[in-house]
Amino acid sequence: MKDNKEVISLIIPARAEYIDIVRLTLYGIATRMGYTYEDIEDMKVAVSEACNNVVLHAYESSEGKVEVRFDISELELSIAVKDDGKSFELTSIEQSTVPTVEQPLKDIQVGGLGIFMMQALMDNVQVRNDIGTEVILTKHLNRGEAMT
């Protein structure tokens, strides 16, 4: 059985004022696919965090760009957020920022919790950092949620 996929791509300047375009596009796609309101809000928070990371950390100046690709299939939506800027080492961020139950709130680092939050909100999060960084966020569409 062939999975019919559609792809929608955006390229925006790596500036905060353009992130709403990504959120609005995500909302339109996810609504059309039949995701619940809660799932859409989770995806919007996760994609906003991925885009914010690019805006804040990827480029030395505001001349960079963010490539966003929505891979749409019958069973899931994957959103890839890619930049060509500075990359980072995921394992060192995860080890230094993931909070534990025993850890006092005052000892939790402010930066770096974005990946942890994306993982909590999405079904799958992949980070590729060969050249720049690409974060791929995937949310499965439950058959019971799909609109008929």
pLDDT in tens, 47-72: 999 999 999 888 887 789 999 999 99
pLDDT for residue 60: 83
pLDDT for residue 131: 84
pLDDT for residue 84: 92
Rounded Cα gap, residues 128 and 13, in angstroms: 21
Work out the pLDDT band at 1, boundaries 50, 70, 90: very low
Residue 140: pLDDT above 90?
yes
Residue 121: pLDDT above 60?
yes
Residues 6+ apart with CB under 8 A from 29: 8, 70, 72, 77
Work out the pLDDT band at 101, boundaries 50, 70, 90: low
Own/partner pairs for 141-146, CB < 8 Å, 24+ apart?
141/33, 141/34, 141/35, 141/74, 141/75, 141/76, 141/77, 145/34, 145/35, 145/36, 145/39, 146/33, 146/34
Residue 108: pLDDT above 80?
no
Residue 86: pLDDT above 90?
no
pLDDT top residue among 148 and 44? 44
